Structure formats: C-alpha cells, structure tokens
C-alpha cells in the first residue's frame, strides 16, 4: 500500500527535524544534564513538528541503548514507538477524548509503573479541546505527578489553555518553517523519490504552505499525482486554485485605474476556472503589502521593480492601509460563507469607489521618488517586459488632478442650514433615548443586505457613501452614522431623503437618519455618559423635504455629490 510522503519522511530523530533548533537544543540538554520536566506544552502553527518532536523525545527518554543522545532504533522500545505499539507511550487525541471521564481514567492509571520502559509518557494532541472539567481533573496530577510520568501537550491554540495548566508546564513556542528550509527539504525528498519539479514550483509550494512543512510535503505528494511529467509552477496553481503574480498585478492595475469592468470580468473567469477566491484575496493582500514596503522602504528590495515604480503614484499609503485592513476582514468573513465571489466583488466595488473620494478628501501621503531611473523609462521597461499590459496608458489616464476643497455650506441657504442643524439635534437626541447595543448589532447585520445595491448604477454612489461611515447608535427608528471627516458626514446629510427612501424600500419601515463626524460623536458620547437621563423623545418640528428639496438646493447638492464621487465607475 502506498505511504503518503509526509508519513514516509516524518522525522525519526532530532537531526531530521527542520527549523526548531532552539527547542531541540533545550530538550537535548535537559536529557544530558538530567533536567527532564514532568510536563511540557508544545504550541505553534500546524505542521511545524510538535507531535514529531514529542515522539522523538519519548523515544530518546526510553531508549535502552542511547548513544550520543540518539535513539538506537533497534531496541524494543524504539521499534515499538516507531510502530505505535509501545504501551508506555500513549498518544491521545483530545479532539475526540475531551471529556472529564477520559482524564480521570488517566489520573487513575498514573500510579502504575511503566511495563518495560523508564517512563510512562502521555502525548495529548490538540489539548485545547479538553473541557473545563477535564482540565480541572488534570490539575492534581500535574501538581504532584509520580516520578515515572511525563506529560507532553500539543496545541495550535494557546489562548484556550487555562493559566493553571500553563503554570505547571514548560512551554515551547514552535515557529513557522522558513520558505528556504521548506524548499531545501522538498528538494531533498524530490531527489530521493526521483520527482522532477521546477525551482519555481518548489518556491510556490513553500509560499502556499505558510510555514507548515507537513502541508508542503502533502502538496508535493498531490502534485506528483496531478502532473504527468515535470511538475511546473502552473501545476501548483491548478492544484491549489491560485493564480500567478502577473495576474494579481493586472488585477491591482485595474483597481488603481478604476477599470472595474475588467476587474469583475477577471473574478468571474477565475471562479469559472475553479480558483480559490480566498487564496486570491490573500495574494492581493500580499502584493498590496509589497507596494507599501516598496514605497516606504525601497532599499529593502534588492533591485528596482518596474511594476512598483509604475503603480506607486496611483495610490497613497492611507488607501493601501485601508485596502489591506478591509480585505483581511473580508477573508475572515469568507471562511464562514459560500458566497465568497459576491463578497469579493462588493469589496472591490467599494475600493474603486473609495479611489473616487477618499484620495481627494484626505491629504495624500507623499511617496518617495526615485533618483535612479525616471518614471517614464520605468514605465517603458515594464510595458516592454509585460506586453499584455499597457501600464503607461492607464497611468496617463488616471493621474490625480488638483482639486479645490469641497464646500458643503454653499449648497444650502443660511436659513436651511439652521433648520438642518435643528433637525440634526433632535434626531441625535431621539437616537439616544433608548439606545441598545443589542439592537445596534442586529441592525448592523441587517444593513449588510444593502451592499448588493453597490452593483446597481442608480444606487452605487449613495451606498458607497453609506458604508464609508459606521452605524453607532439606534433607538426606535432613529439612527446615527459616524464618519471620519465632516465632509463625508455633510454629504450624507445632504442625501437624507434619498437614503431614507432606500431604507424604506429595502426594510419596509421608515427610518430617520443623521450623520456626524468622529469629533462631534466623541463630544455627544461624553455628554450622554455624564447625564443619560436627560434624553426624552422629541417630535421633529422641521420638514426635511422643505430643507433639502428646493430647486436651487437640489441642483447645488447634485453638483457637490458628483464632485465628491468624481470619476466613479459607470456600469453598462
């Protein structure tokens, strides 16, 4: 029967272990100087050697003919451990043995001496899965264990281990295996197994494994079954549903130049090809991170990159930070839904819309300029090397133009401004009358339904504006949204009638909305905390339609909103 490569090449002694030198040295010295502890806790990412080292440590401790701290592999104990037949080395999967009953059984047996070994060793994998009662049952044994008992716990989720257990163990933090170490190990396995694979494919496996050596060996094994001849980079992309760096860069060029149609077409194509949307999103995050590093720490890179030179003037640092943060949150959301493509499409629409307003509302962060090669020559170099992408044309079309600051006060008459301010105070008061955190959280989930309107050209500007803010307070049918800048808050308030109409059509109820900026919200919050009882429901005494729907006001408002969303994408 065929044996999987990760099992065949599982380390049998410390010399075979990759990337955990500090841990191995500590354990080796513990044996050498007779400092063996009664309880160890191995924590770290999956596939980094926790269980393997636990078994090797158990084998060394019980080896009958130990030489130079290496197990002999020939004695009864070593052979039984290698074949999982040693009754004195007990491996327990806490995921399926998490109850207090199983731990009590261990506690009742610890007084029994080993059958034919020096130590009776319990290796408990995924120990964080034990129940609270099971941990409590384990405490007394860990406190005063017999001299012949050793516990080795392994977990990927340290935060779930009670402090009472942690304080009774020696803790070892396993690190991720470096990409170079993974490539070296895979190269070694490939040579032994006569596997033909390109260097680029090995490097891509290392990146996708994310520090997990077991995962990387598993991918190599899968690639052997998939490929007919030599394993190539494309084979690895096909197996894992990923795309190459050039495709990621094309997507970012579409994003930065606001070519949303091309961007959505690419997502559609990748889904039809069975690509992994989550991994594509993670690769976008990685490339955005590289752009930030290139713009701010260019010397970190060994040489100039024509692509980074071409795109670094299209966005500023703040936008890149926002993109990475929002996409990282999106990846977590994708793990719990089957509509991954829809979530990514909506997020990309929002990101394109942000290029239409945030970059003009906030002072751009000045990016470092290169003195080595001119921007024009770099554009030319990249265009020649990547003939499928005309970056130069896109840059010329999307260069930022100077724009005067938007003045919202000019959109309303002085009398209308006073009436709007009075309405604002009433709605803020009413939203705080019986504010409820539970109601707010429930409505925030309900609010997500509006994101589907981002793809509708009749609503995209308003919905994008809505989600640039955050719902902070809701009471009855009064809702407060908070924005980072007063400009966005004012833009929201100018569109109250349209936004309330959208809410009414979507949720079949009429909501009274209002927006404030973060500074104003902090003041409101402090005053509310000082005197919560002062808020009583007030009837609205001004007509919102009278304030916002005069012919002059409507025309001015339209011009301002269009300016705010300058160059926003048009849908066919």
- Give SS3 for 303: coil
Nearest to 391 by CA among 499, 301, 312, 320: 312
pLDDT of residue 355: 67
CB 39 within 8 A of CB 145: yes
Sorted by where each starts, the structural domains of the chain and their CATH numbers stand as 5-173 (3.40.50.300), 179-240 (1.10.8.60), 245-398 (1.20.272.10), 408-564 (no CATH)
Cα separation, 570 vs 572, in Å, equals 7
Nearest to 148 by CA among 171, 187, 121, 179: 121
Residue 251, both tokens:
């997507």
CB 362 within 8 A of CB 372: no
Residue 311, both tokens:
């795109």
Question: What is the mean pLDDT of each successive set of 10 residues along the chain, which is 572 residues long?
Answer: 83 87 91 89 90 90 84 84 83 77 76 80 88 83 83 90 88 91 92 90 88 90 87 88 87 86 88 88 89 82 78 79 87 81 86 59 37 40 43 42 43 75 84 80 83 77 84 86 85 86 87 88 79 71 72 50 47 36
CB 289 within 8 A of CB 353: no
Q: In the β-sheet with 512-517, what is the strand arrangement from edge to edge?
A: 470-475, 478-483, 512-517
Cα separation, 479 vs 483, in Å, equals 13
């Amino acid at each position: 029967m065929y044996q999987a490569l990760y099992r065949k090449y599982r380390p049998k002694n410390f010399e075979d272990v990759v990337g955990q030198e500090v841990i191995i040295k500590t354990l080796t010295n513990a044996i050498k100087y007779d400092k063996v502890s009664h309880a160890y806790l191995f924590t770290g990412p999956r596939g980094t050697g926790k269980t393997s080292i636990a078994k090797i440590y158990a084998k060394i401790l019980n080896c009958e003919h130990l030489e130079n701290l290496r197990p002999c592999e020939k004695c009864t104990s070593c052979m039984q451990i290698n074949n999982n037949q040693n009754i004195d080395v007990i491996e327990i999967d806490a995921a399926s043995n998490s109850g207090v009953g199983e731990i009590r059984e261990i506690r009742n047996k610890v007084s029994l001496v080993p059958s034919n070994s020096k130590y009776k060793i319990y290796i408990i994998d995924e120990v964080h899965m034990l129940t609270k009662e099971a941990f409590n049952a384990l405490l007394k044994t860990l406190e005063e264990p017999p001299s012949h008992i050793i516990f080795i716990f392994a977990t990927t989720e340290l935060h779930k281990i009670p402090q009472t257990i942690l304080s009774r163990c020696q803790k070892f933090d396993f690190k991720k295996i470096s990409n170079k170490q993974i490539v070296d190990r895979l190269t070694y396995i490939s040579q032994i197994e006569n596997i033909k694979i390109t260097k680029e494919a090995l490097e891509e496996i290392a990146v996708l494994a994310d520090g997990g050596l077991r995962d990387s060996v598993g991918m190599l094994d899968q690639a052997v079954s998939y490929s007919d001849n030599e394993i190539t980079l494309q084979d690895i992309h096909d197996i894992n549903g990923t795309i190459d760096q050039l495709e990621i860069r094309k997507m970012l060029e579409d994003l930065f130049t606001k070519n949303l149609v091309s961007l959505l077409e690419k997502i559609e194509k990748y889904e039809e090809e069975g690509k992994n949307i989550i991994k594509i999103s993670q690769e976008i995050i990685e490339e955005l991170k590289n752009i930030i590093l290139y713009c701010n720490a260019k010397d970190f890179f060994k040489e100039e990159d024509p692509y980074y030179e071409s795109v670094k003037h299209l966005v500023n640092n703040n936008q890149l930070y926002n993109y990475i943060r929002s996409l990282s949150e999106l990846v977590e959301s994708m793990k719990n839904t089957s509509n991954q493509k829809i979530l990514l499409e909506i997020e990309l629409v929002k990101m394109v819309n942000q290029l239409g307003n945030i970059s003009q509302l906030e002072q751009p962060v000045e990016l470092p300029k290169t003195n080595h090669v001119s921007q024009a020559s770099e554009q030319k170099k990249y265009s020649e090397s990547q003939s499928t992408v005309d970056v130069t044309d896109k840059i010329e079309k999307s260069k930022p133009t100077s724009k005067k600051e938007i003045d919202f006060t000019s959109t309303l008459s002085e009398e209308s401004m006073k009436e709007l301010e009075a309405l604002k105070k009433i709605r803020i008061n009413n939203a705080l009358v019986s504010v409820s955190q539970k109601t707010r959280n429930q409505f925030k989930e309900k609010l997500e339904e509006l994101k589907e309107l981002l793809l509708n050209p009749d609503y995209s500007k308003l919905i994008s504006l809505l989600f640039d803010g955050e719902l902070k307070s809701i009471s009855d049918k009064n809702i407060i949204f908070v924005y980072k800048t007063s400009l966005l808050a004012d833009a929201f308030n100018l569109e109250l009638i349209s936004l309330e109409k959208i809410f009414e059509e979507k949720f079949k109820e009429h909501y009274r909305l209002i927006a404030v900026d973060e500074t104003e919200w902090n003041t409101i919050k402090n005053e509310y905390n000082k005197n919560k009882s002062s808020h009583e429901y007030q009837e609205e005494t001004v007509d919102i339609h009278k304030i916002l729907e005069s012919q002059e006001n409507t025309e001015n408002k339209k011009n301002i909103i269009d300016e705010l969303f300058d160059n926003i994408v048009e849908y066919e």
